[in-house]
Chain A
Amino acid sequence: MGEKAFSYWYWQGVRHLLSIPACILMMSFVGFGGLSAEAGLTPSQTMVLAFTTWALPSAVVVVGAVLNDVPFYATVFAVVLASVRLMPMTMALIPFLKSSQTKTWHLVFASNFIAITAWVFAMRLVPELPREGRFAFFIGFAFTLAIINTCVAGLANYFSASLPPVASAALVFLTPIYFLLSMTAAARIKTEYWAIGAGLVLGPAFHLITPETDLLWCGLLGGSFAYLINLFGKRT
């Protein structure tokens, strides 16, 4: 990859940050910063959490763990389960980013910035680009998106105490509604709709029964139910 070509495609990717999904994600990170402030996390902790996970569900699970004093092992388990979806997403996108000049560490680096917004964006646009520009284009968009939102989360955390309660309620609400809608929009098979429905009911239910490991049971039972009901539906 020539120096010139890399920076050209890199900035092409950066240019796409002025888009509606990128703006919604930014507002979600404002909301996340407010949530983390309420859990007692400092701006630097919030920024490290946002950048090193670069996946809002994982970050929200960690904040929830801090809020509810969830044990370490249960947090790890919940985060592992909440991030499983990143593996098939990564496997689907990586082949598009490859060219004769990309090295393995390039791809592993790029994979660190795969999350819902960047993935949906890249799967749509990257296949139309010439191969030599794809990696730089993706990094330009996804890496810059991560850097900006890390700063947004830190600033939101820092300033959240001075926000009027109505504004902070609106921002805290942004995270669940953004996730519910974008997850439903990204769902392609019936199993996922069933899983969303089951999860919405079982999450609060298991919180009342077993608050420490509620998400685990919710995921295992709700997900298996959704999977089986679809399997059963196919056979009859």
Chain B
Amino acid sequence: MMDILRAPFSEWYPFLFILLAGALPTQIWRWLGAVFAKSLDEESEFLNWVKAIATALVAGLIAKLVVFPSGSLIDVPLWARLSALLLGYGVFFLTRPKIIYGILVGEVVLVSAAFFYL
């Protein structure tokens, strides 16, 4: 991270990091979207490619949160975490477009395993 800033502004560093690495790179897309709302084609090939990259990135993040978790999830075995995700996903495909049942099934599987291992 920004070690130069870390020492003199140690108290404010986390907020600076949040604003510069989190908020600004996020909001810029919304501002650009609001400004270009008229002149850019939402169906353009370039935007399709960009959307695909963004979707794969978020999916990768989701998988990482399940495969390499933090905190109490670490003590739930990998097979149980993956089963919870896959069973929830399966139920979602049966009940789509509603997402609530898939989430409930995934959580029930995870909590059952957690009760056993935690």
**Contact status B22-A82, CB under 8 Å:** no
Q: How far is the CB of A111 from chain B (nearest CB, A)?
A: 4
Within 8 A of A (CB), among B48-77: 48-73, 75-76
What is the CB-to-nearest-CB distance from A134 to chain B, in angstroms, rounded to a whole number?
Answer: 14
B37 adjacent to A53 (CB under 8 Å): no
Interface, chain B (partner A; CB < 8 A): 1-2, 14-15, 17-23, 25-38, 40, 42, 47-73, 75-76, 81, 84-85, 88-89, 92, 96-97, 99-100, 102-103, 106-107, 110-111, 114-115, 118
User: 8 A-B pairs, CB-CB below 8 angstroms?
Assistant: A58-B22, A79-B25, A114-B33, A170-B114, A173-B66, A173-B107, A195-B52, A222-B60
B99 touches A45 (CB 8 A): no
Which of A57, A80, A111, A218 is the one whose CB lies under 8 Å from B33? A111
Residues on B with C-beta less than 8 A from A215 are: 57, 60-61, 64
Enumerate chain A residues within 8 angstroms of B69, measured Cβ to Cβ: 172
List B contacts of A78 (CB < 8 A): 57
Complex: how many Å from CA A203 to CA B102?
22
A85→B51 contact, CB < 8 A: yes
Q: Nearest Cβ distance between residue B103 and chain A, in whole angstroms?
A: 6
A176→B55 contact, CB < 8 A? no
CA distance A87 to B110 in the complex (A): 35
A202-B56 CB under 8 A given contacts A69-B1, A83-B25, A90-B34: yes
A75-95 contacts to B, CB under 8 A, are 75-76, 78-92, 94-95
The 4 closest A-B pairs by CB, nearest first: A203-B60, A199-B59, A90-B33, A219-B57
- A207 at interface, CB cutoff 8 A: yes
| Chain A residues with CB under 8 A of B38 | 95
The answer to whether B21 touches A176 (Cβ under 8 A) is no
* Nearest-neighbor residue (CB-CB) of A178 within chain B: B103
Is A112 part of the contact surface with B, judged by Cβ < 8 Å?
yes
Q: Which residues of A contact B92 (CB under 8 A)?
A: 181, 184-185
Give complex CA distance A64, B52 in Å: 22
Q: How far is the CA of A41 from the CA of B72 in the complex (A)?
A: 16
